[in-house]
């Protein structure tokens, strides 16, 4: 990296020299040859060392840097009014320091068709931590009868949700809009009716509260279930190279939740052009919108994996769902100790990317919650809960 920079410096000096001092003494043809050679060397350098040298520049010296920086890819087009509006709002929100409340809470947002089969388990999980969480329930088809006092009166105004359609994102936004009204809420976790906790409350609270990223699953999948779902209609605001994929279940910091509220431009693109049976393909906005948005505007601000575990290893259309006989202390412990996130592309190569889960720069287990558990597992889970969350 150093050589790249030193080398750029050298070129720059040469250019200055040839420009200001040597030029007058040189005869014209030689001068042209020298200039042409220098330009070619420079272009070659730019080709050989493109992104590395700019990064090196940031790392080595963030101040006197701009002078020597290779030109970034010039903006290929003028931004639209709406893009300028979005950018100025996002930048301001991202710059703002997090507002720390005196009693910070985690918002647990349940997205469910109806009843929540694990309320009694969550009740155990929440018990004794009353000041540090809030619950929101979006029941899209049937008003649930609650089995835990922590859920009573926590239903928000809900609407129908069609799986894979934009109404799914609308429900997520509705939950965020309600949860944001409580200024104490700092992290916003989206959970389904088949999700269960893998750790005790203190562990989950510390994991989510003392972090500065959102846990949004995000990776580039060039295959048919990834970028294959991209539609050119998203141009020019969303280019194919920016299109990302990831699981729907997120945990989001407050700043990012506000950005989701503020965004209309990208949301509308996905609403119109990422839907089932779009141009003969099926695109599911809940697997692409947040992923693509945050990859574009704050890639370093998301962890790129979800804190909710799901097992796709069987390679079927649906992830593995656990039955009562599957639920053992060992199963829960093994999920809770997974420390690497794995992404597999959906093309023929099935390229696997394995990354260690890093929490504030330290290797940590990846998951706080897991799905999908059948309702019949609730008694096994209740029996095991105090054991698997303490041992
Ligand atoms: C997430 O992925 C993006 C794009 O690959 C990367 O720039 C970013 O640093 C990653 N985030 C973290 C926290 O590592
Ligand atoms: C988050 O915190 C870590 C360490 O405290 C720091 O290195 C990193 O830059 C921070 N990331 C963001 C997005 O603020
Ligand atoms: C993950 O855990 C396994 C065993 O629990 C350990 O051998 C491995 O080194 C860990 N990997 C990381 C990246 O921490
Ligand atoms: C927890 O489960 C493990 C494995 O089944 C068992 O060995 C241990 O005794 C249990 N501990 C308690 C406190 O029940």
Q: What is the pLDDT of residues 105-139, one digit of tens each?
A: 999 999 999 999 999 999 999 999 999 999 999 99
Q: What is the pTM of this model?
A: 0.81
Tell me which residue has tokens 């050989």.
48
pLDDT in tens, 237-246: 999 999 999 9
Find the range with the poorest average confidence among 18-22, 140-144, 340-344.
18-22
Backbone angles phi and psi of 314, in degrees to 5: -75, -10
Find the range with the poorest average confidence among 5-19, 203-217, 220-234.
5-19
Other Cβ atoms within 10 Å of 188 Cβ, number: 26
- For ligand 4, the distance from its centroid to the CA atom of residue 260, given in whole angstroms, is 43
Calpha distance 325→306 (Å, rounded)? 26
Q: Which atom of ligand 3 is nearest to the CA of 357?
A: 13
Q: Indicate whether residue 304 lines ligand 1 (CB < 6 A).
A: yes
- For ligand 3, the distance from its centroid to the CA atom of residue 339, given in whole angstroms, is 6
Ligand having the closest approach to the CA of 97: 2
CA angle 283, 287, 291 (to 5 degrees): 120
Supply the residue whose CA is at minimum distance from atom 13 of ligand 3. 356
> 306 vs 51, which has greater pLDDT?
306
Calpha distance 187→155 (Å, rounded)? 19
> 337 vs 18, which has greater pLDDT?
337
Q: Which atom of ligand 3 is nearest to the CA of 340?
A: 13
Calpha distance 58→69 (Å, rounded)? 9
Domain boundaries, the chain: 2-48, 82-305
Q: Indicate whether residue 387 lines ligand 4 (CB < 6 A).
A: yes
Computed over every residue of the chain, the mean pLDDT equals 85
Cis peptide bond upstream of 372, omega within 30: yes
For 21-43, the DSSP string reads: IIGGGS-HHHHHHHHHHHHHHHH
pLDDT bucket at 314, cuts 50 / 70 / 90 = confident
pLDDT in tens, 165-189: 999 999 999 999 999 999 999 999 9
Q: Which atom of ligand 3 is nearest to the CA of 337?
A: 5
Calpha distance 103→236 (Å, rounded)? 43
Find the range with the poorest average confidence among 31-40, 142-151, 247-256.
31-40
Q: Indicate whether residue 329 lines ligand 4 (CB < 6 A).
A: yes
Structure tokens at 215: 């846990």
User: Does residue 132 contact residue 150 with C-beta atoms inside 8 Å?
Assistant: no
Number of helices (H), then strands (E), in the chain:
12, 13
pLDDT bucket at 68, cuts 50 / 70 / 90 = very low
Backbone angles phi and psi of 270, in degrees to 5: -75, -35
Q: Indicate whether residue 299 lines ligand 1 (CB < 6 A).
A: yes
- For ligand 4, the distance from its centroid to the CA atom of residue 350, given in whole angstroms, is 39
Confidence (pLDDT) at 31 = 59
User: Which residues surround ligand 3 with Cβ inside 6 Å?
Assistant: 337, 339-340, 356, 363
pLDDT in tens, 1-37: 333 333 333 333 333 333 333 343 444 556 555 555 6
Pairing, β 340-344 against β 352-356 = antiparallel
Supply the residue whose CA is at minimum distance from atom 1 of ligand 4. 387
Calpha distance 260→90 (Å, rounded)? 10
Average pLDDT over residues 40-51: 47
> 315 vs 321, which has greater pLDDT?
321
Residue 196 predicted with pLDDT over 60: yes
Supply the residue whose CA is at minimum distance from atom 4 of ligand 1. 299
- For ligand 1, the distance from its centroid to the CA atom of residue 222, given in whole angstroms, is 17
Calpha distance 343→121 (Å, rounded)? 30
Identify the DSSP state of 135.
E
Q: Which atom of ligand 3 is nearest to the CA of 363?
A: 14
pLDDT bucket at 317, cuts 50 / 70 / 90 = confident
Tell me which residue has tokens 């809030």.
134
Fold of 82-305: Spore Coat Polysaccharide Biosynthesis Protein SpsA; Chain A (3.90.550)
Q: Indicate whether residue 391 lines ligand 4 (CB < 6 A).
A: yes
Confidence (pLDDT) at 39 = 52
Calpha distance 372→335 (Å, rounded)? 12
Q: Which atom of ligand 3 is nearest to the CA of 356?
A: 13
Find the range with the poorest average confidence among 6-10, 110-114, 224-228, 353-357.
6-10
């Amino acid at each position: 990296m150093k050589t790249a920079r030193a080398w750029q410096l050298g070129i720059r000096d040469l250019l200055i020299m040839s420009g200001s001092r040597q030029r007058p003494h040189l005869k014209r043809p030689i001068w042209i040859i020298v200039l042409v050679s220098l330009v070619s060397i420079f272009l070659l350098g730019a080709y050989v060392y493109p992104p590395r040298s700019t990064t090196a520049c940031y790392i080595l010296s963030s101040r006197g840097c701009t002078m020597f920086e290779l030109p970034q890819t010039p903006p290929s087009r003028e931004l639209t009014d709406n893009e300028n509006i979005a950018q100025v709002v996002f930048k301001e929100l991202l710059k703002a320091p997090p507002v720390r409340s005196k009693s910070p809470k985690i918002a647990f947002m349940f997205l469910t068709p109806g009843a929540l089969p694990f309320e009694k388990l969550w009740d155990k999980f929440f018990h004794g931590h009353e000041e540090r969480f809030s619950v929101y329930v979006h029941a899209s088809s049937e008003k649930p009868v609650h089995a835990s006092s922590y859920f009573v009166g926590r239903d928000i105004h809900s609407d129908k949700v069609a799986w894979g359609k934009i109404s799914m994102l609308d429900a997520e936004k509705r939950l965020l809009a309600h949860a944001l009204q409580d200024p104490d809420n700092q992290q916003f976790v989206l959970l389904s009716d088949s999700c269960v906790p893998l750790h005790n409350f203190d562990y989950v609270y510390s994991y989510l509260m003392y972090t500065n990223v959102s846990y949004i699953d995000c990776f580039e999948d060039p295959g048919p279930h990834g970028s294959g779902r991209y539609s050119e209609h998203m141009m020019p605001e969303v280019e194919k190279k920016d299109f990302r994929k990831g699981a729907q279940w997120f945990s989001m910091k407050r700043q990012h939740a506000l950005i989701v509220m503020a965004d209309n431009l990208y949301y509308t693109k996905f609403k119109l052009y990422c839907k089932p049976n779009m141009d003969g393909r099926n695109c599911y906005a809940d697997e692409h919108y947040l992923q693509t948005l945050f990859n574009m505007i704050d890639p370093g601000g998301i962890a790129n994996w979800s804190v909710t575990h799901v097992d796709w290893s069987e390679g079927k259309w649906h992830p593995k769902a656990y039955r009562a006989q599957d639920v053992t202390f060992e199963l829960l412990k093994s999920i809770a100790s997974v420390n690497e996130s794995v992404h597999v592309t959906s093309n023929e190569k099935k390229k696997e990317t394995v990354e260690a889960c890093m929490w504030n720069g330290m290797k940590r287990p990846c998951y706080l919650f897991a799905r999908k558990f059948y309702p019949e597992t609730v008694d096994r889970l209740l029996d095991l809960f105090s054991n698997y969350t303490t041992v």
